[in-house]
Chains A and B, each alone.
Chain A
């Protein structure tokens, strides 16, 4: 079974339409809402973990896009600026999903972006600002994402 963390952006014209339940009903996908925020009359954002086989996940994502939901893979958005990381490990104890961990015996900090749920804790704790765009609901992060 594959798992993918995606960010769904519902623009104002579709934000009150029921869509997500059909992932389960029509595609037999397991979805897990990691975080959600609705900005009334502007847009809604949902951080969703999708579980199923690869092909079905792709079909589910296609379905969402056909219904005008903007779908972005979390792994494409969140990143680490490797030159800024000094491998101290301050982030590792706060990361809820072990996306950040210390390798052994090298004791270097590994970042497995597939496990990241963009909770933002690493961005808050890193003394060197190495973790980038780790909060999807930060208005400044949104601006940066759209510029790309």
Chain B
């Protein structure tokens, strides 16, 4: 019935992981394995490919329950270290978003603003075990009479702390340049005028969704490395769009798929959740994510062996075109191979490139996840539902 020569199931791979006999490699190592053995043999040998990424991921935040107070309180305003958390949820629940700035922050009034502390930094402080100041206020009710409450707390004092990110792990992204005449300060870093430098994000050949471009194995319920602890994919992220133009290898040629993730903050580490300050732009959080991809068949072996040279990235002008919101074609396409080499060619001009997401940390995450799986502790979560995907005609040969 199946068109594949190799057919494995999640259950079979999990049985091997439990026995400690599963073969696990990183997405970097899989490139060589598939080249050496061919996709069919590589699919027979390798059970799981691990991926990793560590970049600035806006659309992240944490649900915090700070516990009932005496007398009881139904908080309507919540601040943690002067950063406001959304409190319109329940009595002592709130959601702190990573881009929320501190109350007294001068923002961009003195341009470019530095945005030294925000929601992302609160999350980093919490997972680092540092003390934070919680301040809440309310209007008081018969059942919740308390009108204000203040406490110094650490993560262990919160009954529940859950990282819940509506959109992470963008599958591919833009390479940003600036064609205007002045330096600009963006979420893609500082871009000098007249296309003098180019910035890019994502970990390319190690990036989770670039190794499963059609979301064949990553879906609702996938168990992942999240911020140094364990988390789950809980659905497609906001702005998930599988219908972006794809290369012949099925890989998207621009920002496309996204995932929403959730995990218990109490198992996480400040090494992989780092508050970020983007000059002139705002606050955010660097999130470390690693996703294991089961090699169910030779097609998954092909997908996971994608290399930087085979992933196309659109070059986009953040000086005029992007801020305008008007649809316009990219200035051109480059590969992650070229971007990693430190120089690209735009309209015949050579310009230096900088990554914004840490490849070194992505590698560490993929290696850590590999160790977890090899130790038999980390089993694969079989998706209960798929993410919206696109048609793929299959590899040509």
Contact = CB atoms under 8 A, between A and B. Distances in A.
Contacts of B352: 92-93
A127 B190 contact: no
A109 B122 CA distance: 26
9 contacts: A89-B358, A90-B199, A90-B354, A94-B190, A124-B190, A124-B279, A127-B277, A128-B277, A129-B116
Contacts of B199: 90, 93
Q: What class of interface size applies to chain A in its complex with B?
A: 10 to 19
Interface residues of B, number: 32
B20 interface: no
Contact of A127 (B197, B286, B353): B286
A88 B53 CA distance: 11
Contacts of A93: 197-199, 352-354
B190 A107 contact: no
A102 B274 contact: no
B361 interface: yes
Nearest to B363: A107
A66 interface: no
Interface in A40-60: none
Interface in B241-263: none
B277 A125 contact: no
B354 A127 contact: no
A86 B361 contact: yes
B124 to A, nearest CB: 10
B123 interface: no
- The DSSP consensus for interface residues of chain B is strand
A62 interface: no
Given A86-B286, A121-B190, A124-B190, A91 B358 contact: no
Contacts of B357: 88
Nearest to A108: B360
B342 interface: yes
Interface string A89-112: 111111000000010001110000
A125 B189 contact: yes
A107 B341 CA distance: 10
Going nearest first, the 4 A-B pairs with the smallest beta carbon separation are: A93-B354, A127-B276, A87-B360, A89-B355
A10 B192 CA distance: 33
A93 B112 CA distance: 19
A122 B91 CA distance: 44
Interface string A124-137: 11011100000000
A87 to B, nearest CB: 4
Contacts of A94: 190, 192, 197, 354
B56 interface: yes
Nearest to B115: A127
Interface in B182-202: 189-190, 192, 197-199
Given A93-B198, A102-B342, A127-B56, A86 B358 contact: yes
B342 A88 contact: no
Interface string A52-86: 00000000000000000000000000000000001
Contacts of A129: 116, 277
Given A86-B361, A90-B354, 11 more contacts: A86-B274, A86-B358, A87-B358, A88-B54, A88-B356, A90-B356, A91-B354, A93-B198, A93-B352, A125-B279, A127-B277
Interface string B325-368: 00000000000000010100000000011111111110100000
Nearest to A93: B354
A89 B54 CA distance: 12
B278 interface: yes
Interface string B274-317: 11111100001010000000000000000000000000000000
A60 B190 CA distance: 38
Given A94-B190, A125-B190, A127-B286, A89 B354 contact: yes
A88 B355 contact: yes
